[in-house]
Amino acid sequence: MSGAGPDAPDEEPDEPRGTLHPTSARALTACIVVGLALGWALHPVVSAVSGGPPLVSWVQALVLVMVAAIMGFLAWSTWQTVHVRGQRLEPQQAVNRLVLARACALAGAAVTAGYLGYAVSWLGDESRYADRWILRSLVAAAGAAGVTLASLALERACRTDGGRPRP
């Protein structure tokens, strides 16, 4: 007997292989519920404290649309690299993209719901600015929803077959 077992010093141990699951619907739902509640409560609370509601500018909405476009391009580029051309990303680059995708998906869901909640808080308000804030909030919510969808697409693009050979 040579004594070469799984714990023999001259054999390299197998690399740990973990599994990573996609962002769960439960996590996205929790972010949506919290965002909706906070967005809806923001209008009356800030109005009571400061005497005026928080303003929603076009800049906020357009920045979210721009972030959605950037995330969408990154998702497309990653998909092309990994799934179309069959190339591998550097490990750190893959982890960075996955972390970015998850963070933006969850934050995007919360921000989407926050702007929707804020828009709902203006319904029935007789203020002359109500229509303006509702429209801007809905555009911002659409931009944030785009961030969420593009981020989920980036997360999907980062997925690989785990090194298994293709048939």
State pLDDT tens for residues 97-134: 999 999 999 999 999 999 999 999 999 888 888 899 99
Q: Is the pLDDT of residue 89 over 80?
A: yes
pLDDT computed for residue 127 by the predictor: 85
Q: Which pLDDT value is given to residue 126?
A: 84
- pLDDT greater than 60 at residue 62: yes
The whole-number average pLDDT for the span 138-151 is: 97
Kindly report the three-state secondary structure assignment for every residue of 80-97: HHHHHCCCCCCHHHHHHH
Domain boundaries, the chain: 25-47+54-157
Q: Taking Cα atoms as reference points, which of 49, 31, 46, 42 lies closest to residue 112?
A: 31
Using alpha carbons only, give the angle 128, 131, 135 rounded to the nearest 5 degrees. Answer: 150
Q: What is the pLDDT of residue 162?
A: 60
- For 12-51, the pLDDT digits (tens) are 666 656 677 889 999 999 999 999 999 999 989 998 999 8
Cβ–Cβ < 8 Å for 83, 157: yes
Closest CA to 35 of 128, 145, 131, 154: 145
d(CA 44, CA 121): 8
Structure tokens at 161: 């077959």
pLDDT at 147 over 60: yes
